[in-house]
A and B are shown apart, each in its own frame.
Chain A
Amino acid sequence: MADFNQDERAQREAIDVDRSKGDFKYEENYAYDAGVGLNPGVVDYISKVKGEPEWVREFRHRSLGVFESMPMPTHWATNDLDNIHFQEIRYYLAKGQKASRTWEEVPDDVKRTFERLGIPEAERKFLAGVEAQFDSEASYSRMKEELEKQGVIFCGPTEGLRDHAEIFRRWFGKVIPAGDNKFAALNSAVFSGGSFIYVPKGVKVAQPLQAYFRINAQNFGQFERTLIIADEGSEVTYMEGCTAPKFETATLHSAVVELVALKGAKIQYVTVQNWSSNVFNLVTKRGVAEEDAEVRWIDCNIGSRLTMKYPGVVLRGKRARGEVLSIALANVGQHQDTGAKMIHAADDTTSNIIAKSISVGEGRSTYRGLVHIPRTLRNCRNNTECDALLINERSRTDTYPAISVRGRKNSVQHEASVSKVSAEQIFYMMQRGLTEGEAMSLAVNGFVNDLVKEFPMEYSVELKRLIELQMEGSVG
């Protein structure tokens, strides 16, 4: 426990220092501010600001009650969760259009990181919080126009629930009910931001939909809510996050993402996230796949103080397929608690989980997997591979697979490995002229290589650079 307290103190000190630089300052020019702490008044305030219908307001209030009644899941998860002080958090803060700081106030290391990632000037300013609005309006509206022709709805939850209730209400909060877990309940009470997408029957959206363009036009949400419905025979890829580090004032991020793939539909959901190391990132993601449908999660978690995220698929129709490909990198002072859930609920369903984790220094990675195939089903298959790479002696990795497969006609295959980057490997690479950091990042990139190949091109390139940055920073 002493370590936690020390960690916490160190975190606070770090934040205080940044605050004095103007990095984390709360200006008085926010147009909308729900204030500090969580209570029914805050929920009312958010609902009112957003002009929501009464049923959404009621949903929020019910969810708040659920949140308050549920214990912190520290009986299985890390005690670090107890360091979240819910009454010290701001649950809704909208900046309006005003910049909160100047480029000169942005710390040099942040600027260098942007440079290394090759982020265009305009975007750098947005990401650093210098410009409240990144000039992506043009690309977004072009994209939106294209989509509207096909009948695709791509908006935020506020507009979705207000303007398209007949489509979204049926599924909203159904894949992940408020009572699913404490943080899903919290999100359900205070959600804002995120994406609501509906793809009509048979429409195959050619270009991946990027949250980046749309959400950048507003503010990044702390409590994002995303619901994607792919109607029969449709296909869509959604990309969330970006590889640039986010410099957040808020230390708690808790998103809920629900996916619905109707008969024969395909949804691919890609996340690459790089949180600053003061962030608790506690996310619930789940998809439902109906007959012949496919839900695929590609999930990369880098950074944060603690990430807890286990994307899942409920295989509800015959021949449905579910897949989770995940990469987690836990650097010093970070804990990546990630995994996957596959719930088989129909015959002939298949699922595949490939999870790779990298622990650097005192970084800790945990894999939790759940595969459930009940006795009554036939011809269900699951394949699970989880591989951990440790960078040095103090790194830690744990695996908690929970596999319940019954019935004689079903099969499951589970492979797990733990490997280490050896001193001899590093020496060999350094003898060829690579610095220690370069050698490590090459080894790590090699470890995730086969998985990264499955990623959309632009993400795999960025991910590679991101790993390089992480590894460079990790060697003395």
Chain B
Amino acid sequence: MPDSLVIRNLHASVGERPILKNFSLTVPKGEVHAIMGPNGTGKSTLAKVLAGHPDYVVQSGDALVDGQPILGLEPDVVARAGLFLAFQYPSEIPGVTIANFIRAALVARQAKGAPFDAKAYYAELYAKMDALKMDRKFTSRFVNEGFSGGEKKRCEILQLMMLKPRYAVLDETDSGLDIDALRIVSEGVNAMRGPDTGFLVITHYQRLLDHIVPDRVHIMWDGQIVHSGGKELALELEEKGYDWVKKELAHA
């Protein structure tokens, strides 16, 4: 499928330990898919494997961004192919300002030696920061250094909005957010929804999905998707709890 993020029969492990077990999922461009599941089921591993993290070994399977295979590529190549990962725990980069970091990321996407329109860049950066209710002072703060949990997540969404990927994987973006920050971050994501972008929202709790209403919800258990449905599935899961998954779905 050319206009989709396609993951087919993916097996991946950390060291000797298998984590993803025959995982398959398709996210068409323009849709928001949520993956829910208990801790330790492989949700974050999925995000990192897609992004090309060197600690994970892919045994078999495919992942394609609009038809282009991405497994085995360097993380930067995957990123430039159009896959963005909003980290659960973003790294600090001392001495590098947010403005310079995002700028470097944008320059990396340009043809070598092409001129960079700094004026347009700052205009857009400020507009997006306003939308995320981030103080302008943030541009000169060092990436994630001394940030609160909420500030880190807002900074991730700011990068997402500036880099405009084809597909965005949001890994537990709601963790560490209070209700106001949750709303602001969700508004940022919602503003980006449209025919050009697909979203894969990984979350443990249903509450994020009150704000970012998904087109499809998938329940993940032990390295694979065991059940899929519409947005109401998230509510059902919230009501019945993960024990229900364990009893009813795990053997499916």
Contacts and interface: CB of A to CB of B under 8 A. Distances in A.
Contacts of B102: 432
A425 B74 CA distance: 15
Contact of A435 (B76, B78, B84, B100): B76
B114 to A, nearest CB: 14
B95 to A, nearest CB: 3
A431 B51 contact: yes
Contacts of B91: 422, 424-425, 427-429
A302 B90 CA distance: 31
Contacts of B80: 433
A433 B95 contact: no
A376 B229 CA distance: 82
A434 B105 contact: yes
Interface string B79-90: 110001101001
Contacts, number: 80
B108 A433 contact: yes
Interface stretch (A83-91, A103-111, A346-354, A446-454): A446-454
Contacts of A439: 76
Interface in B159-216: 159, 163
Contact of B93 (A423, A435, A442, A450): A442
Contact of A446 (B74, B79, B85, B93): B93
A423 B56 CA distance: 13
Contacts of A449: 95-96
Interface string A453-476: 000000000000000000000000
B214 to A, nearest CB: 23
B241 interface: no
A443 interface: yes
A442 B97 CA distance: 10
B163 A433 contact: yes
Nearest to A449: B95
Contact of A445 (B76, B79, B90, B96): B96
B157 to A, nearest CB: 13
Contacts of A442: 93, 96, 100-101, 104
A436 B76 contact: yes
Interface residues of B, number: 30
Interface string A413-430: 000000100111101111
A438 B100 CA distance: 13
Tell which of B54, B75, B93, B163 has the most Cβ of chain A within 10 Å: B75
Contact of B142 (A424, A431, A438, A446): A446
A447 B85 contact: no
B76 A430 contact: yes
Interface in A167-189: none
A430 B100 CA distance: 15
A443 B93 contact: yes
Given A427-B54, A427-B75, A434 B108 contact: yes
B40 interface: no
B96 A434 contact: no
B105 A443 contact: no
B94 interface: yes
Interface residues of A, number: 25
A466 to B, nearest CB: 17
A320 to B, nearest CB: 31
Given A436-B74, A443-B96, A446-B95, A427 B105 contact: no
Nearest to B83: A431
B105 A432 contact: yes
Nearest to B89: A424
Given A445-B96, A446-B95, A450-B95, A428 B90 contact: yes
B87 A428 contact: yes
B109 interface: yes
Contacts of A447: 94-95
Given A438-B108, A442-B101, A430 B95 contact: no
B133 interface: no
Interface string A42-78: 0000000000000000000000000000000000000
Contacts of A432: 79, 101-102, 104-105, 108, 159, 163
Contact of B75 (A422, A431, A448): A431
Nearest to B92: A425
Interface in A7-34: none
B136 interface: no
A435 B96 contact: no
A445 B95 contact: yes
Contacts of B8: none
Contacts of B246: none
B227 interface: no
A423 B163 CA distance: 23
Nearest to B53: A427
Interface string A274-309: 000000000000000000000000000000000000
Tell which of A432, A434, A445 has the most Cβ of chain B within 10 Å: A432
A190 to B, nearest CB: 42
Closest 4 CB pairs of A and B: A446-B95, A446-B96, A449-B95, A430-B75
Interface of B: 51-54, 74-76, 78-80, 84-85, 87, 90-96, 100-102, 104-105, 108-109, 142, 159, 163
13 contacts: A423-B54, A427-B51, A427-B54, A427-B91, A428-B87, A428-B90, A430-B76, A432-B102, A432-B108, A433-B76, A433-B108, A435-B74, A438-B76
Given A428-B93, A435-B108, 6 more contacts: A430-B74, A432-B101, A432-B102, A432-B108, A433-B80, A442-B101
